[in-house]
Chains A and B, each alone.
Chain A
Amino acid sequence: MKLFSTSSRGGRIGSIAAIATVVALAATGCAATNGGDSGDGGGDSAGTIAFLPKQLNNPYTDVVLGGGEEGAAAIGYDSEVLGPLEASASAQIPFIEQATQQGTKVIVIAANDPDAVGPALQTAREAGAKIVAFDSDTNPDYRDIFISQVVAKDVALIQLEIISEQIGGSGEIAILSATATATNQNEWIKFMEEELESNPDYADIKLVAKVYGDDDADKSFQETQGLLSSYPDLAGIISPTTVGIAAAAKYLSTSDYKGKVALTGLGLPNEMREFVKDGTVQEFALWDPAQLGYVAAFAGKALVDGTITGAEGDTFDAGDMGEITVGANGVAIVGPPTRFNADNIDEYDF
């Protein structure tokens, strides 16, 4: 109220707003020119690859992006990381628009929502950008190729295998996932459900609940507590997300359930080391995230060069990772998942 009560203050605010607008315009103008330069010049750089992770400042994302930057450097591209601080469906859209305006040649994106980013990606493609989805797919209509860490089914199955080993092949299990709309987690969960139904080895394992911790430490913590207090006979938890498994492990390690309820899923070795060593978690799985970014950069180059179009059967060179073949629906697979346990966890640092 007081803020706008006097005309002089109102005027001052107006002028501040005006200055801010000018600065913003200048900044975007500069950025656009820069993008144009690198696109036209083509002297020392072949162009720019924009990486749009689900969110910034996420340790997993950081490893992926590290690999991406390495890959971009190897093929002579500049790399740029754009992204929101929070993993929400619409937060990525302004960054896609920014990349488009800068004339970025390749946009590498891990979608928070397969459809929300669609229209913005469509505009980017019309402006000439190639779209590489990685980590979490967009709707296939909106991208040229999807770089998948591993075969989704393998990821799902390895987690089931581990939990089955730990609970002795029978008992109640629950899943602690990320957001209810996360593309990759939902796909793995679907495979797990199908496998539980069809595979006679898992006939005695019953999936009693699926809960969502929204990749938030606090929420994942409370969802774990809720699972344990509402299912007294729970034998194991699968958490196919790095935030979820770490929060669940921290909770288990400080509760009466430590050692009684098995926990596995997808985790980062650095984050899980403590819990593997204190016996809360016996074994979990993941791929090497750096390879994902690395291959995505090479796929982007192949698309720009016209070597591939993302059609089934296309092959492209992925540097140290060798030759990679595009499968059905424009999905290219990087490698098999790795199991981490007390014996090998110290060999990994990410």
Chain B
Amino acid sequence: MSTVTHAPAVPRSNALKRFFTAREIPVAGALIALILVTYIINPRFLSPQSTKDLMLNATIMVILAVAQALVIITRNVDLSVGAILGLVAFGTGTVFDMFPTIPLVLVFVIGMIFGGLLGSINGMLVTSAKVPALVITLGTLYIFRGVLSSWAGSKQFFSGDNPKAFGNLSVDTLIGIPIITIIAVVITVAVAMFMSSVRSGRDLYAIGSEPDAARLFGIPVGGRVLSAFIACGALTGLAGVLYASRYNSVGALTGSGIELDVVAAVVVGGVAIFGGSGTVAGAAIGAVLLSTITGALTATRVDKFWQQAIVGVLILAAIIIDRVVSLRRARKLRVNEAKDV
């Protein structure tokens, strides 16, 4: 199906070629084109405030997309992320309610551990039940949401209930870039490096390409998949804490429906839905593209119906590009092998 591409030392011309045939390029190109066109129509789209808003809007989605990409690359999916985000966001409000003077770093740690625990439930169910993750996480999506609904009821935590410094996290900037956006970029780079150059990261691609072959090869498939779900949960937990910082209220419905936006972002970013190929950087760019589309369409006052239609077209385009690229690559591999004989 999809091939694992390693990045050994290649001659420069090949490196250049690889750069232009990488799946992230069309997505990044679309993003730049979108920003330019919107800027021409409405120059205020790139005003300092608006640029900051664009970055802030994308931040949470980028973290969620990176987390989801980890799982999708292993030929699984985590549909429960919306509910995990909601649980952690509401949990954050609860923590501040109980311990108003708690250090902020500790809140992030608690949120990530909480998210990681929820992720480990998904991971253990998926690896032990041998039932597709789609079904398992659809179940846990409803279970987690149900737990949140009964925990939260109609209680909401408002931004006024949290410490001012916590709310400021999603406003303060460093050289013009919001701090939480910097956090998201650092996470994306770190996970991308892990996936491209650390053995266990490469294992995730192998598992996604062909789980049975990976198992025969001696890769601890169950353990790796479990870790991917835990990492996905922990990063989603981080996004949940940031959500509580950014928005005015968290309650029983926080994050509902977000899971499909996340999967859409990952697919648009060039990660194959059946695993084995794509990069977390691509997923992050996909997330930026989707959130920028929303911003661009509202800034140019295009009907919201088109917003969803465009996302749909992008998903189909990404899948077609994926198919064409993998067919072409398979043909090239065959030709090369024939030459070698």
Contacts and interface: CB of A to CB of B under 8 A. Distances in A.
Interface in A1-17: 1-3
Nearest to B134: A3
Nearest to A209: B301
Contacts of B48: 256
B154 A270 contact: no
Interface in B135-163: 135, 149, 152-154, 156, 158-160
Contact of B135 (A3, A217, A226): A3
B160 A230 contact: no
Contacts of A62: 154
Given A229-B44, A229-B50, A271-B158, A254 B171 contact: yes
A247 B254 CA distance: 13
Centre residue among A217, A218, A229 by max chain B CB count within 10 A = A229
B247 interface: yes
B45 interface: yes
Nearest to A55: B253
Contact of B249 (A223, A227, A229, A246): A246
Contacts of B131: 2-3
B50 A61 contact: no
A211 B304 CA distance: 10
Nearest to A277: B160
B212 to A, nearest CB: 13
Contact of A230 (B249, B252, B300): B300
B251 interface: yes
Interface in B285-341: 294-295, 297-301, 304
B220 interface: no
Interface residues of A, number: 38
Contact of A57 (B44, B153, B170, B301): B153
Given A85-B149, A217-B248, A230 B159 contact: no
B42 interface: yes
Nearest to A221: B247
Contacts of A249: 248
A56 B154 contact: yes
Interface string A1-45: 111000000000000000000000000000000000000000000
Contact of A256 (B49, B132, B149): B49
Nearest to B52: A255
A174 to B, nearest CB: 11
Interface in A231-249: 232, 246-247, 249
Contacts of B156: 59, 271
The size class of the interface chain B forms with chain A is 35 or more
Contact of A222 (B47, B171, B295): B295
Contact of A225 (B53, B135, B158, B253): B53
A61 B294 contact: no
Contacts of A227: 298
A58 B154 contact: yes
Nearest to B255: A218
B248 A230 contact: no
Given A3-B132, A209-B301, A249-B248, A225 B295 contact: yes
A227 B132 CA distance: 43
A274 B248 CA distance: 10
A71 B47 CA distance: 53
Interface in B111-151: 130-132, 135, 149
Nearest to B298: A226
Interface string B220-253: 0000000000000000000000000001110111
Interface in B151-181: 152-154, 156, 158-160, 167, 170-171
A57 B170 CA distance: 26
B251 A57 contact: yes
A274 B158 contact: yes
Contacts of B304: 212
B302 to A, nearest CB: 10
A187 interface: no
Centre residue among A228, A230, A255 by max chain B CB count within 10 A = A230
Nearest to B135: A3
A230 B295 contact: no
A228 B154 CA distance: 31
Given A57-B154, A62-B154, A274-B158, A86 B253 contact: yes
Nearest to B56: A254
A348 interface: no
Contacts of B247: 217-218, 221, 247, 250
B47 A229 contact: yes
Contacts of A86: 253, 256
A154 B171 CA distance: 37
Nearest to A246: B248
Contact of A223 (B45, B152, B170, B298): B298
Contacts of B160: 273-274
B298 A257 contact: no
A247 B44 CA distance: 21
B37 to A, nearest CB: 15
A223 B303 CA distance: 12
B298 A57 contact: no
A45 B244 CA distance: 44
A242 to B, nearest CB: 10
A3 B154 CA distance: 37
A249 B298 CA distance: 18
B282 to A, nearest CB: 24
A271 B301 contact: no
A274 to B, nearest CB: 3
A218 B86 CA distance: 13
20 contacts: A2-B132, A3-B132, A57-B253, A59-B156, A61-B154, A62-B154, A211-B298, A217-B248, A221-B247, A225-B50, A230-B44, A230-B298, A232-B44, A250-B247, A254-B167, A254-B171, A255-B49, A271-B249, A273-B160, A274-B160
Chain A to chain B: the 5 pairs with minimum beta-carbon distance, closest first: A226-B298, A274-B160, A250-B248, A62-B154, A57-B252
Interface of B: 42, 44-45, 47-50, 53, 57, 130-132, 135, 149, 152-154, 156, 158-160, 167, 170-171, 247-249, 251-254, 256, 294-295, 297-301, 304
